[in-house]
């Protein structure tokens, strides 16, 4: 009884005594929410932002020193445009070192939104000496250990052998920005905890990263991702396409990153290193890993990317093909320009032969592929040019070229042209495009951001594209147009109003399937959103409403959704809570609406809604002293349209509601 | 004949079926159906957060003659008592006739957070009686409300009634009960003129929008003119006055198909 009393006392009293402020992840979550929601609305795939989040979290844990950061370091801030980075460097050069972070308001092209986004990632103070020799006693003493344990539980029983828990555990070690190690183990809901025939836990990933070790600026052993240039040859992970950040279309970050996500597909496994020689960087990697695949006789038809192994047919796809990859990138960086060459060679132990259908006629087939490309960036006055050209096997070529510039301090413009031949089908590309696949597309994009008046910001883009060959779901060559217009009003630090209108015109195939002829129809989707963010003290309110209209041949429907978020942080307890109530009335799948959801740390989702119903959740975060943090999410989705099943196929569950609980616990050991 | 008419209307007319499903949220005194931000505090079962600024204990009685049909009339009573940190309100409304009637009762707790925002939570009990079964069936819903003054002249009001889609369980079946999300704005154009705008979305119905102008003359006489739209344009006119501790409200609403409804309210604050 005494012990119980102590335990309760510890849980309640320790937080009061604790004065340590954890790095607040809200700005990172907010930034990811903005990017994620945009991306999810454009793509059929769920973006993997877990690694992106890891990078931002690491950056927030070790913010950039504003007066000594190089251009390349500042370009790690994904929300800053090239011009903003340029203006910041110019300001520092002209007026000397920043004496206060508030001085950022004087830098041309920065508004309060930009500064608010930057604050968690920058600092003023002593610069770190990256070349300093590693002392192992310092590593031991000042290294930071973190252990994350997560369980997601669904109340509805699943039709699989394994239990309904989705669980993962992550261990992470960091010493400044020099040494990082992580180990991840995961099982999805419906998978077995332990399957000896498949090597134990469903997914295990690990990596060790060493930075700034003499001439080796970055070394990773284990799992990693790679990205160079504009992503025409090689880029894995979160791809930023069209979004409300309309002029941020050039990809700037490059190199190897350790892999810490639970996504079971988007990574290499082996070794990667970057060697730094003055202005030249040489990056090279070697990878050998098993990938999941759907087999048909002696060939495989496609790569299975979901990572789910719940049913015998899913388990049958597990680790069926060995993929060997090697690659190299050579980059030369000068003050005003950068040039690079990237080449990747991949070999499968079994040939890839996608089923021959008209739309997949030009997909990559074979057991090996070499992709190579050249990328560039250069600056002339206020113009920043960027681009890349790549080749798989002739005539499989692709190129993307763009420019961003600011005709005045209040206007930013970005123009991008891309051409990807129909036979251009690189295995690891992730570049700017209107579809998730890079290939069979040409188009022109124009984006603009204008500070109309003080506190008013207008963003817009127009993207016109053409698919020269058939694509999945469209049985003829087709064209499309996307437009976005967003008006943002920030009358005070506490209040922000966002109005967004999006119009999309594309082609889809006739749904009835009755016609023997190719029947392609024009489809239009218009959507409007109004969002109001209001902060008062420790409480944040967010109201949003979205309505859309879809028009296809013989189909026209209007959908609505509205939601209310209340986020509050208690004053006396280290407890933060987020509540959402959302309702939706969305008649069809074509009208589906995406909304970003707050979740436990390291979890991201932007579910799409269709049908009639409501969803509500409560997320609580509680800090138990300096070492332990706990997150809990309880959520329910309830339909009011009389359905008796949720989901489809083998994952359908009976009933008109779905209840889920997410739990995450973080143990943190900091030796200083 | 009248009973037949009532039954026919209740059972057959789509428009009235819609009206019927909205019945628990009827706000006949707030012109244009704009109770989410009706700071004059007219009627019962308003946005629960609007109870937060109540300064004195008060009693309020409401009567509505719906479409001039006695059997559809409703009678209600409310009592609000402000404590030092929050206000507690008890409300009760009876509507219908002997063979079929509905009893709506609610207890609300509302708090004003230093003028920065107000929140209210009401637990509503909805009981229905039908002579066919000769018993009452009851369901309980939460009714949540929020008011946020975005500026001295602009008030945002949000409320959600039955957010968890609770159903009424009858002997042999379940009936989905109304679940309504409302968002409204109150713009103080001048000290004496307010403009209210509200959108309501019941989960199984189309969007309803309403708007009203609210004019005060010398702080003791009020006039309202509003209009709402859900399949039909429904205009409403209202007036009210304060005499010492007493207040009186009267609002007339004209539905183009179903006819005229008149509602009156009488309040007293202690």
How many Å is the Cα radius of gyration of chain B?
Answer: 18
Reported as half-sphere exposure (CB side, CA atoms, 13 A), residue B130 has a value of 7
Mean pLDDT by 10 residues, chain A (672 residues): 47 40 55 64 60 78 85 81 82 87 83 79 76 79 91 85 90 89 93 81 93 88 94 83 84 87 92 93 96 91 90 90 96 90 96 91 93 93 91 91 88 94 94 90 95 86 95 89 92 87 87 61 91 87 91 83 90 89 88 88 84 93 90 93 81 85 90 54
Alpha helices, H only, A318-414: none
**Prior bond of A563 cis (ω within 30°):** no
Higher pLDDT, B19 or B104: B104
**DSSP states along A622-635:** EEETTTEEEEEEEE
Pairwise CB contact (< 8 Å): A640 & B117: no
Asked if residue A338 lies in contact with residue A374, where contact means CB atoms within 8 angstroms, the answer is no
Residues 628-647 of chain A whose Cβ lies under 8 A from any Cβ of chain B: 636, 638, 640-641
Nearest to A244 by CA among A454, A11, A79: A79
Asked if residue A550 lies in contact with residue A557, where contact means CB atoms within 8 angstroms, the answer is yes
Which of A543, A566, A585 faces B183 most closely, judged by CB atoms? A543
Confidence at B9, pLDDT banded by 50, 70, 90: very low
Task: Please name the residue that has the structure tokens 């049913």.
Answer: A311
Q: Which residues contact A393 (CB under 8 A, 6 or more apart)?
A: A369, A370, A423
ipTM value: 0.72
Which of A541, A560, A616 faces B207 most closely, judged by CB atoms? A560
C-alpha to C-alpha distances, A217 to A66, A214, A274, A277, A497, nearest whole angstrom: 21, 7, 6, 9, 44
Instruction: Copy the structure tokens of residue A542.
Output: 């967010």
Pairwise CB contact (< 8 Å): A614 & B148: no
Residue A654 pLDDT: 84
Reported as type and span, the H/E element at residue B251 is strand B246-255
CA distance A660 to chain B (A): 15
**In chain A, which residues have their Cβ closer than 8 Å to the Cβ of B179?**
583, 614, 640
User: What region does A270 belong to: left with phi over 0, alpha with psi -120 to 50, or beta?
Assistant: left
CA distance A122 to chain B (A): 31
Q: Provide, for chain B, the percentages of residues in helix, strand and coil under a 3-state DSSP scheme, each rounded to the nearest 5.
A: 15, 60, 30
Residue A217 DSSP class: E
Does the domain formed by B14-269 have CATH 2.40.160.40? yes
CA distance B116 to chain A (A): 7
Residue A29 pLDDT: 67
Q: Which residues contact A76 (CB under 8 A, 6 or more apart)?
A: A55, A59, A64, A253
Pairwise CB contact (< 8 Å): A539 & B204: no
Chain A CB within 8 Å of residue B207 CB: yes
**In chain B, which residues have their Cβ closer than 8 Å to the Cβ of A537?**
114, 116
**In chain A, which residues have their Cβ closer than 8 Å to the Cβ of B150?**
495, 532, 534
Asked if residue A299 lies in contact with residue A352, where contact means CB atoms within 8 angstroms, the answer is yes
Residue B167 pLDDT: 84
Q: Which residue of B has its CA nearest to A537?
A: B116
SS3 call for A199? coil
End-to-end distance of chain B based on CA atoms, in angstroms? 45
**Using CA atoms, how far apart are residues A47 and A436, in angstroms rounded to an integer?**
10
Residue A494 pLDDT: 82
Residue A1 DSSP class: -
CA distance B146 to chain A (A): 10
Residue A270 pLDDT: 96
Asked if residue A382 lies in contact with residue A405, where contact means CB atoms within 8 angstroms, the answer is yes
**Using CA atoms, how far apart are residues A609 and A591, in angstroms rounded to an integer?**
9
**In chain A, which residues have their Cβ closer than 8 Å to the Cβ of B151?**
491
**In chain B, which residues have their Cβ closer than 8 Å to the Cβ of A495?**
150
Which of B148, B150, B165 faces A638 most closely, judged by CB atoms? B165
Chain A CB within 8 Å of residue B83 CB: no
Q: Give the residue-averaged pLDDT of B43-72.
A: 90
Instruction: Copy the structure tokens of residue A351.
Output: 């040939």
Pairwise CB contact (< 8 Å): A612 & B207: no
Assess whether pLDDT exceeds 80 at residue B14.
no
Confidence at B5, pLDDT banded by 50, 70, 90: very low
**Using CA atoms, how far apart are residues B258 and A621, in angstroms rounded to an integer?**
52
**Using CA atoms, how far apart are residues B14 and B33, in angstroms rounded to an integer?**
20
Residue A10 pLDDT: 43
Pairwise CB contact (< 8 Å): B146 & A566: yes
Q: Give the residue-averaged pLDDT of B69-78.
A: 90
Mutate to test the interface with A, among B163, B182, B202, B205 (most CBs of A within 10 A): B163
Q: Which residues contact A44 (CB under 8 A, 6 or more apart)?
A: A436
Residues 153-172 of chain B whose Cβ lies under 8 A from any Cβ of chain A: 156, 158, 160, 163-165
Q: How many residue pairs bridge chain A and chain B with CB atoms within 8 Å of each other?
A: 66
Pairwise CB contact (< 8 Å): A564 & B207: no
SS3 call for B166? coil
Pairwise CB contact (< 8 Å): B117 & A545: no
Asked if residue A307 lies in contact with residue A299, where contact means CB atoms within 8 angstroms, the answer is no
Q: Which residues contact A593 (CB under 8 A, 6 or more apart)?
A: A527, A546, A548, A559, A561, A584, A586, A608, A609, A610
CA distance B259 to chain A (A): 30
Please write the tens of the pLDDT for every residue from A277-327: 988 999 999 999 999 999 888 899 999 988 899 888 999 999 999 999 999
Assess whether pLDDT exceeds 80 at residue B34.
yes
**DSSP states along A589-623:** GGG-EE--B--STT--B--EE-EEEEEEEEEEEEE
Residue B264 pLDDT: 94
Strand A64-65 relative to strand A122-123: parallel, antiparallel, unpaired? parallel
Pairwise CB contact (< 8 Å): A614 & B207: no
Residue B61 pLDDT: 95
Chain A CB within 8 Å of residue B201 CB: yes
Residues 578-597 of chain A whose Cβ lies under 8 A from any Cβ of chain B: 581, 583, 585
**Using CA atoms, how far apart are residues A270 and A286, in angstroms rounded to an integer?**
6
Asked if residue A226 lies in contact with residue A234, where contact means CB atoms within 8 angstroms, the answer is yes
Pairwise CB contact (< 8 Å): A581 & B146: no
Chain A CB within 8 Å of residue B204 CB: yes
Rounded to 10°, the helix A26-42/A50-61 angle is 160
Q: Where are the domains positioned within chain B?
A: 14-269
Q: What is the 3-state secondary structure (H, E, C) of B154-165?
A: EEEEEEEECCCC
């Amino acid at each position: 009884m005494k012990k119980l009393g102590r335990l309760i006392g510890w849980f309640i009293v320790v937080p009061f005594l604790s004065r340590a402020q954890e790095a607040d992840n809200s700005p990172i979550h907010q930034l990811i929410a903005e990017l994620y929601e945009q991306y999810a609305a454009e793509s059929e795939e769920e973006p993997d932002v877990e690694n992106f989040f890891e990078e931002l979290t690491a950056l927030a844990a070790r913010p950039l020193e504003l007066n000594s950061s190089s251009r390349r370091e500042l370009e790690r801030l994904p929300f800053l445009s090239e011009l903003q980075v340029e203006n910041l460097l110019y300001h520092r050069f002209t007026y000397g070192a920043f004496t206060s972070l508030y001085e950022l308001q004087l830098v041309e092209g920065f508004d309060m939104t930009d500064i608010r986004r930057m604050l968690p990632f920058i600092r003023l103070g002593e610069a770190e000496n990256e070349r300093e020799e590693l002392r192992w006693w310092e590593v031991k003493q000042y290294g930071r250990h973190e252990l994350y344990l997560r369980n997601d539980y669904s109340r509805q029983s699943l039709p699989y052998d394994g239990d309904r828990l989705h669980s993962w555990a992550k261990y992470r070690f960091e010493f400044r920005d020099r040494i990082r190690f992580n180990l991840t183990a995961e099982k999805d809901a419906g998978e077995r905890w332990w399957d000896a025939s498949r090597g134990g836990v469903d997914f295990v990933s690990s990596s060790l990263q060493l930075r700034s070790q003499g001439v080796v600026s970055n070394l990773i052993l284990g799992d990693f991702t790679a990205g160079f240039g504009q992503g025409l040859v090689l880029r894995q992970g979160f791809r930023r396409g069209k979004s409300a950040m309309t002029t941020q279309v050039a990809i700037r970050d490059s190199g190897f990153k350790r892999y810490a996500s639970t996504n079971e597909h988007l990574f290499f496994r082996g070794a990667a290193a970057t060697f730094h020689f003055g202005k030249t960087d040489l990056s090279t990697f070697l990878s050998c890993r098993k990938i999941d695949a759907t087999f048909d006789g002696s060939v495989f038809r496609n790569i299975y990317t979901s990572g789910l192994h719940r049913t015998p047919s899913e388990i049958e796809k597990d680790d069926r093909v060995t993929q060997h990859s090697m690659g190299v990138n050579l980059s030369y960086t000068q003050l005003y320009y950068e040039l690079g060459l990237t080449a990747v060679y991949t070999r499968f132990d079994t040939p890839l032969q996608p089923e021959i259908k008209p739309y997949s006629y030009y997909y990559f087939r074979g057991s090996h592929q070499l992709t190579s490309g050249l990328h560039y960036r250069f600056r002339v006055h206020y113009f920043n040019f960027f681009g890349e050209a790549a080749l798989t096997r002739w005539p499989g070529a692709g190129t993307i070229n763009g420019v961003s510039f600011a005709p005045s301090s209040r206007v930013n413009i970005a123009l991008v042209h891309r051409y990807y031949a129909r036979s251009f089908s690189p295995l690891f590309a992730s570049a700017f495009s209107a579809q998730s696949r890079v290939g069979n597309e040409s188009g022109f994009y124009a984006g603009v951001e204008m500070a109309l008046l003080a506190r008013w910001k207008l963003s817009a883009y127009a993207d016109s594209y053409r698919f020269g060959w058939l694509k999945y779901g469209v049985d003829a060559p087709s064209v499309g147009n996307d437009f976005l217009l967003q008006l943002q009003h920030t009358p005070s630090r506490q209040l922000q109003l966002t109005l967004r209108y999006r119009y999309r015109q594309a082609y889809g195939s006739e749904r009835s399937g009755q016609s023997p002829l190719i029947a392609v129809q024009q489809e239009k989707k218009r959507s409007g959103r109004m969002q109001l963010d209001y902060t008062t003290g420790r409480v944040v309110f967010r109201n949003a409403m979205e309505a859309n209209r879809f028009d296809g041949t013989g189909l026209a429907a209007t959908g609505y959704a509205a939601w209310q978020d209340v986020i509050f942080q208690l004053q006396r307890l280290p407890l933060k809570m987020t509540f959402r109530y959302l309702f939706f009335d969305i008649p069809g799948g074509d009208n589906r609406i995406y909304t970003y959801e707050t979740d436990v740390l390291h979890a991201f989702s932007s579910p799409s809604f269709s049908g009639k119903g409501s969803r509500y959740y409560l997320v609580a975060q509680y800090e138990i002293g300096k070492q332990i943090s706990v997150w809990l999410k309880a959520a329910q989705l309830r339909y009011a349209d009389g359905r008796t099943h949720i989901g489809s196929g083998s994952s359908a569950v009976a009933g008109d509601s779905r209840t889920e609980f997410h739990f995450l616990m973080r143990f943190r050991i900091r030796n200083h | 004949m009248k009973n037949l008419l009532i039954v026919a209307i209740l059972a057959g007319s789509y428009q009235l079926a819609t009206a019927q499903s909205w019945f628990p949220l009827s706000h006949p005194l707030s012109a244009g159906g704009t109770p989410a931000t009706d700071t004059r505090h007219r009627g019962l079962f308003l946005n629960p957060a609007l109870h937060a600024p109540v300064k004195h204990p008060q009693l309020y009685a409401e009567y509505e003659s719906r479409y001039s049909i006695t059997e559809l009339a409703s009678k209600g009573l409310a009592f609000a008592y402000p404590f030092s940190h929050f206000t507690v309100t008890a409300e009760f409304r009876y509507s219908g006739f002997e063979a079929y009637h509905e009893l709506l009762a609610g207890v609300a707790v509302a708090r004003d957070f230093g003028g920065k925002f107000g929140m209210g939570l009401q637990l509503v009990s909805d009981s229905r009686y039908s002579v066919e079964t000769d018993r009452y069936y009851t369901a309980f819903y939460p009714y949540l409300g929020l008011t946020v003054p975005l500026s001295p002249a602009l008030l945002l009001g949000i409320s959600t009634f039955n957010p968890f889609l609770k159903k009424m369980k009858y002997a042999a079946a379940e009936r989905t009960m109304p679940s309504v999300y409302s968002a409204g704005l109150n713009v103080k154009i001048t000290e004496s003129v307010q403009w209210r705008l509200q959108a309501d979305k019941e989960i199984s119905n189309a969007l309803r929008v309403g708007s009203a102008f609210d004019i005060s003359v010398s702080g003791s006489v009020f006039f309202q003119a509003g209009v709402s739209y859900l399949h039909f344009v429904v205009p409403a006119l209202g007036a009210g006055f304060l005499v010492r501790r007493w207040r009186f409200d009267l609002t007339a609403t004209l539905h183009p198909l179903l006819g005229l409804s008149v509602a009156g309210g009488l309040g007293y604050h202690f």
